[in-house]
Chain A
Amino acid sequence: MKLSELSLKEASQKIQAREISSLELTNEYLNNIKKAEPKISAFLEVTQELAIEGAKNADKKVKEGGDNSPLLGIPTALKDNMLSLGTRATAASKILEEYQSMYDSTVTEKLKSDGAVILGKTNLDEFAMGSSTESSAFQKTKNPWNLEKVPGGSSGGSAAAVAAQECVFALGSDTGGSVRQPAAFCGIVGLKPTYGRVSRYGLIALASSLDQIGPLTRTVEDSAIVLNAIAGQDPKDSTTAPVPVEDYTKNLSKDIKGLRIGIPKEYFVSGINKDVEKSVRESIKQLESLGASISEVSLPYTDYALAVYYIILPAEASANLSRYDGIRYGYSIVRDDKKIKDLFSVYSKSRARGFGDEVKRRIMIGTYSLSSGFYDAYYRRAQKVRELVKSSFAEIFTGIDVLVTPTTPTTAFSLGEMADDPLTMYLSDIYTVSANIGGIPAISVPCGFSDGLPIGLQFMAKPFAESQLLQVAYQFEQKNNWYKERASI
């Protein structure tokens, strides 16, 4: 067995037992990156020297003994909207093309202090706006299962890197499905924790009331291990919750007899691909055979959640992205055009050249919905419907424990397929946005294939019930062999 076929858990055990060194493992992944990148283009930056230095430090710690962190010596990758000293942080935008991380994000700091080895930074849709990673200003990432398909987005680089065995695990950020949808498209596990579970300090902000960082891994157990490392309250992010961090691995092996699982009927309507529906229905039968009690439930605002999302997200994004002004940091027109005299032109020309289409569109929609005259009709109304979505989740979770749905209506679509049609692209988020609107945790796990492309099954649970979420996902995963399938590239 190749070293890069080991799960995080297995690799960690071998490092701790000194059967392998972190340096051997890191070198194997650096080799995989060299071989895979010409086809996959998952990475925007590979920090080979830093990685080798990190691996040597980890091996030293193993030798000294006493440090049994499961991440010690494990090679990982970060979505390029997270700050990590010694790397750039571009958010896949020209406006930040040369921006060097000024500090470590909290998640990076936590990974580093646990001894993880950072291999580099992965591609994303520009500022995480998109569902295919095609809006990156720098490159198009390919799906390792089929190089003509998108990897999903916006954490498409992280998902593809894990699926192509270019790292053991990766971090992504999920604002409307950006961890779960690419995980589903690439046949891996993607977790969006509860809003407030993981600190966003040092994450380049998209929509602050929705953004959450989560792991992309090969197995559910690996997901729990990474969550253990990154969860927790952070004084640098006031939205993190003072809820104690559990050991998320401890309930995994418990059976799910008697677990109450709800199937929201609104998720099985027109637009869903037949193979996706079939796999999800079969998965539900399996959950039943594992002892869960299944019932159909209704989430009446499902159809409106996406509309709420595409008002709130652009509104918050338009405010968050006002900081890219050509003055404080990032790209500025003053470098290219010395004749510019007025301040307005510095703003408007720097932003015109620095931002891509999707970012411009969303900033303008956000500006529109927040502008006087339209604020009540759009933003205020969306916030009120958001409360209805949240309260319908709260009500549902009094009678059931976990919801099961498809992660996406289809499998990975073709590169370029939706290039001129932003609205159709938005619709691919239809099953994932509700969890962000409601602030609840959700996970996608592989549940089958259609024409050689992976299908994802989504579980959702009530706020801070990650333990239960991971438990049911693990029980389902172990009943199947989907997670053992590897893309051959």
Chain B
Amino acid sequence: MAITKEEVKHLAKLARIELSKEEVDRFQKQITSILDYIDKLDKVTVEKGEKIVSSDVENILRNDVVIKSKNQKELVENAPDQKNEHVKVKTILKKNETI
């Protein structure tokens, strides 16, 4: 299935990847050829219904016991931007803004 440049830009936005114009052109062609290939699955008859997870998989639960985790300080130090032992992010909500 052909995918348009607008769709590529939309996907890139959803995936949080900024693309250059050249990348949009290139990825449009490449993704179209890959989608054309995977469209062959249309030929397989599959049963309707909800079940898509195989029956041999089940939840593994553990006891609710506290165990020591990694050093929090060390983990926070991995963050590219930090302040007072906290991970720092850009402003998420502006004044009077709702989501």
**Could you say which of A311, A343, A351 contacts B41, with CB atoms under 8 Å apart?**
A311
Count of interface residues, chain A, beta-carbon cutoff 8 Å: 60
CB neighbours of A334 from chain B (8 A): 80-81
Query: Is the interface on chain B under 10, 10 to 19, 20 to 34, or 35 or more residues?
Result: 35 or more
Q: How far is the CB of A90 from chain B (nearest CB, A)?
A: 14
A364 touches B31 (CB 8 A): yes
**Could you say which of B3, B15, B80 contacts A327, with CB atoms under 8 Å apart?**
B80
Q: How far is the CB of B77 from chain A (nearest CB, A)?
A: 9
7 contacts across the A-B interface (CB closer than 8 A): A332-B80, A348-B12, A363-B17, A364-B8, A382-B41, A422-B33, A423-B37
**Could you say which of A310, A318, A345, A361 contacts B30, with CB atoms under 8 Å apart?**
A361
Q: How far is the CB of A321 from chain B (nearest CB, A)?
A: 9
CB neighbours of B37 from chain A (8 A): 307, 310, 423, 426
B8 touches A422 (CB 8 A): no
CB neighbours of B17 from chain A (8 A): 348, 351-352, 355, 360, 363-364
B19 touches A329 (CB 8 A): no
Near B by CB (< 8 A), chain A positions 91-105 give 99, 102-103
B47 touches A384 (CB 8 A): yes
Scan A314-354; emit 1 where CB is below 8 A from any B CB, else 0: 00001000100111111110110000111111111101100
B38 lies within 8 A of chain A by Cβ: yes
Please judge, given known A-B contacts A102-B78, A364-B17, whether A346 and B90 are in contact too, CB under 8 Å: yes
Contacts from A to B (Cβ < 8 Å): 99, 102-103, 235, 238-239, 301, 303-304, 307-308, 310-311, 318, 322, 325-332, 334-335, 340-349, 351-352, 355, 360-361, 363-365, 367-368, 371, 378, 380-388, 390, 422-423, 426
**Could you say which of A304, A367, A383 contacts B15, with CB atoms under 8 Å apart?**
A367
In the A-B complex, list the 10 residue pairs whose CB atoms are closest, starting with the nearest.
Answer: A332-B80, A383-B52, A329-B78, A347-B16, A238-B60, A352-B18, A384-B46, A348-B18, A343-B90, A307-B38
Provide the main secondary structure of the chain A interface.
helix
CB neighbours of B23 from chain A (8 A): 360
**Could you say which of B18, B27, B38 contacts A364, with CB atoms under 8 Å apart?**
B27
CB neighbours of B78 from chain A (8 A): 99, 102, 328-329
Q: How far is the CB of B58 from chain A (nearest CB, A)?
A: 10
B2 lies within 8 A of chain A by Cβ: no
Assembly CA distance A381 to B52 (angstroms): 9
CB neighbours of A331 from chain B (8 A): 80
